[in-house]
Amino acid sequence: MNVLRRLSFAACAALLSACATAPQPDAPAVADTAAGATYLIVRHAEKADDDPRDPSLSEAGQARARRLIEALARTPLRAAYATGYRRTQGTAAPAAAAHGLQVTLYDAKQPAADFAAALRRDWPQGTVLVVAHSNTAPGIAAALCGCAVEPMSENEYDRRMWVRVDAQGRAHLRVSRDAGPASSSGQ
């Protein structure tokens, strides 16, 4: 009987360990998006000094934008949004292109609650990337999750806000950081 118990315990332990998976440090697993939606809200990457009104991305910003491809590599991206500024479009474009998508423009002056409601209505499943600005990204994340979100400083570029909304409409915010150079390295 003792041998039978040991074998049963070993079989259960093996079954449980086979079911356990290590979570990705950043991106949600593909299966996570099947019964709900995940919205990744980021600030545009570092700006260049080429145009004070509508700057493009610096080299550091371009590298950060490319790292979004890696962050979203394990999950099918359904849509990518950016404002009408070159810095937001330049941040969103590499990840969108890697998934065969075009970047959809949205109005940065639109109230965050209205934009979040449209995102939840239009994309109830899958993963959606939203590239915003330091003064709008936290508000969009807060409106999507119905939770408090820390303001973003002018020199913060590395925060990734993952809002997961399950099939019942319950939302959860998870914040991660881009593993690239420090967020203060750029403009």
Q: What is the pLDDT of residue 182?
A: 53
pLDDT profile of the chain (187 residues), mean per 10 = 44 38 43 77 97 96 96 95 98 98 98 98 98 98 98 97 97 94 47
Contact 151, 177 (CB under 8 A): no
How many angstroms separate the CA atoms of 173 and 164, rounded? 6
Residue 180: its pLDDT value, please? 76
Find, among 35, 31, 45, the residue nearest to 129 by Cα: 45
**By the 8 A CB rule, do 20 and 160 touch?**
no
pLDDT given at position 24: 41
CA torsion, points 143, 85, 155, 29, in degrees to nearest 10?
50
How much is the pLDDT for 92? 99
pLDDT of 179 reads 85
36-43 and 159-166 strand pairing: antiparallel
Domains of the chain with bracketed CATH:
28-177 (3.40.50.1240)
In this predicted structure, what is the pLDDT of residue 21? 31
